[in-house]
Amino acid sequence: MTQTENRPTTETTATTFESLSPATGDVVGTHPIHTAEEVEAAVARAREEAAWWSALSYDERDQHLSAWKGVITRRLAQLAEVMHQETGKPHGDAMLEAALAIDHIAWAAGHAEKVLKRRKVPSGLLMANQSATVEYRPLGVVGVIGPWNYPVFTPMGSIAYALAAGNAVVFKPSEFTPGVGEWLARTFLESVGRPVFSVVTGLGETGAALTRAGVDKIAFTGSTETGKRVMAACAETLTPVVIEAGGKDALIVDLDADLDAAADAALWGACANAGQTCAGVERVYVHERVYDDFLASLIGKARGLRADGTSGAQMGPITMPKQLEIIRSHIADALERGGRAVVGGLDAVGDRYVQPTILVDVPEDSLAVQEETFGPTVTVAKVRDMDEAIELTNATRYGLGSTVFSKARGMELAGRIRSGMTAINGVITFAGVPSLPFGGVGDSGFGRIHGPDGLREFTYPKAIARQRFKPLMPLTSFRRTEKHEQQLASMMTMLHGRGTTIPKP
């Protein structure tokens, strides 16, 4: 029986659901299906916690978050085991994911004050009598809805940054990884002593209830389709949202690239986590003069890779069973339309595991090039030059990440790609740099986690103008006269009246 078949439907009266191992189908945990009333109660409790938490100093919050970070770090192997059980990903991958998340907790907690604290800004000549300041205040309670593919790293991009900014958080993990969510909330309570960060579990309906439970912001990570539903629900109450959705990221290879490194990155980007990575590599465009050498290198490396349940396997199972059919349909469509599988192919799609698949000669308007596959497959296409590579890279509705391999033109090419993030001569490296914002454009969503933008995302700017001395002209008073208005006009002419003529070419 597949995981999905074993789940109660949303109409059910069941009060619990089971979390299963995608590798074996074994039950690894039983969790409550929280109802809309229970979700509302969790948000109400979080609001009380938010009052306490937001009143602490940045330093005090840093200390609490550091205590939590310490507990997670000391129990890294235990967390990795829960992640491994629920997603099937190899232990080493789970450790790496959790390690990156820990780094983000440290960065968010350590930089919140610098980024968000009150600071003076210039008040301008017209308002020279004012002292102007801006600070970033917490929103209150943030609802975080997370996916299963990176059940620690991905939601932590919202959880850690929202907490560091002074908010309480209610987290709804994916129904495939509830145990990971509960583990995080349990260790937080143990470290901090108060449930400023809490978890509600259940199916999609529980997530939907969170969007209507009166939170001050929803941070959603998941598919574009669910993102649209979340946004529609939030629109009813004008609740702001961050949407971190899917991608169809490309890697481009210029003729001066280190081909071995590019092939290594393309393979890892496409197949790590069995291809279930939002910013994974799904398409590769290679300069025609190095195409054959690149492809030969990629094929050679891919042959050494396998997905199965044995201890030496570099890839785990496909976590969500219904994804197998999507992967199969993308490969089938590519092959039917003239594409060739130089590694893998339709036979690569098993009952639980998918072996690496490299597709060439695939038409650009096929499913495997346009839609998110979310499996260990990649299309490789030959391009005339980097202009064509950029044009094809930009020809999707997504715009999450991208990769450029070029010695001479990395920065130039990166700047021309329409995506929220680009790695040059490395792959997905931007996700591990805590000071860089993470997020996309187009169907990949909007808003940012990570970095200063990620901290500000969970705040509202508070602007204050304080009068230091009486103004020379009473501009914002009914005492203003015609003479004042003339003085204002002269002043504006002096300040802004020159240099407006655009020189003729």
Positions marked catalytic: 244, 278
Q: Which is nearer to ligand NDP, 386 or 431 (CB)?
A: 431
Does residue 219 belong to the site contacting ligand NDP (CB under 6 A)?
no
HSE-up of 154 (CA within 13 Å, CB side)? 30
Does residue 15 sit in helix, strand or coil? coil
The minimum distance between CB 483 and ligand NDP, in angstroms, equals 58
Among 151, 195, 207, 339, binds ligand NDP (CB under 6 A): 207
Please list, residue by residue across 152-161, b when 16 or more beta carbons sit within 10 angstroms of its beta carbon and e when fewer do. Answer: bbbbbbbbbb
Is there binding between residue 148 and ligand NDP (CB under 6 A)?
yes
Torsion angles phi and psi, residue 29, rounded to 5? 180, 155
Q: How many helices (H) and strands (E) would you count in the chain?
A: 16, 18
With respect to ligand NDP, which residue has the nearer C-beta, 46 or 156? Answer: 156
Spatial distance between the Cα atoms of 54 and 231, rounded to a whole number of angstroms: 27
Residues with Cβ within 8 Å of 493's Cβ and at least 6 positions away in sequence, in order, are: none
Counting contacts by CB under 6 A, is residue 402 touching ligand NDP?
no
In the set 192, 196, 245, 362, which binds ligand NDP (CB under 6 A)? 245
In this chain, which of 50, 400, 424, 428 binds ligand NDP, going by CB under 6 A? 400
Site string for ligand NDP, 357-396 (x = CB under 6 A): ---------------x-x----------------------
Cα angle for residues 215, 217, 221 (degrees, 5° grid): 115
20 binds ligand NDP (CB under 6 A): no
| Contact call for residues 356 and 376 (beta carbons, < 8 A) | yes
Q: How far is CA 18 from CA 26, 141, 202, in A?
A: 10, 28, 10
Contacting residue, 230, 318, 348, 417, with ligand NDP by CB under 6 A: 230
Encoded one letter per residue, x for contact with ligand NDP by CB under 6 A and - for no contact, window 101-140 reads ----------------------------------------
Q: What is the dihedral of CA 63, 64, 67, 72, to 10 degrees?
A: -130
**Residue 172 is a binding residue for ligand NDP (CB under 6 A):** yes
Q: Contact, 220 vs 154, CB < 8 A?
A: no
Closest CB to ligand NDP among residues 204, 214: 204
Q: What separation in angstroms does the CA of 20 have from each of 3, 77, 186, 207?
A: 6, 20, 20, 20
Tell me the window of 142-150, 183-191, 284-292, 458-466 that interacts with ligand NDP (CB under 6 A): 142-150
Q: For residues 15 and 8, what is the distance between their CA atoms, to the nearest angstrom?
A: 9
Single out the residue of 156, 170, 278, 298 in contact with ligand NDP (rule: CB under 6 A).
278
Please work out the total of residues on this chain that contact ligand NDP, with binding judged by CB under 6 A: 31
Interface pattern 296-325 for ligand NDP (x via CB under 6 A): ------------------------x-----
Q: Which is nearer to ligand NDP, 23 or 253 (CB)?
A: 23
At a CB cut-off of 8 Å and minimum separation 6, what does 217 contact? 139, 142, 143, 162, 167, 239, 240, 241, 242, 458
155 binds ligand NDP per the rule CB under 6 A: no
Of 22, 90, 147, 181, which one interacts with ligand NDP (CB under 6 A)?
147
* Kind of pairing between the strands at 377-383 and 281-287: parallel
Q: Which of 22, 146, 151, 375 binds ligand NDP (CB under 6 A)?
A: 146
DSSP result, 344-396: --GGGB-SS-B--EEEES--TTSHHHHS---SSEEEEEEESSHHHHHHHHT-S
Give whichever of 339 and 437 is closer to ligand NDP, judged by the CB atom: 437
Contact region with ligand NDP (CB under 6 A), list: 241-249, 336-344, 389-397, 462-470: 241-249
Binding footprint of ligand NDP on the chain (CB under 6 A)? 145-150, 154, 172, 174-175, 203-204, 207-208, 211, 221-223, 226, 229-230, 244-247, 278, 320, 372, 374, 400, 440
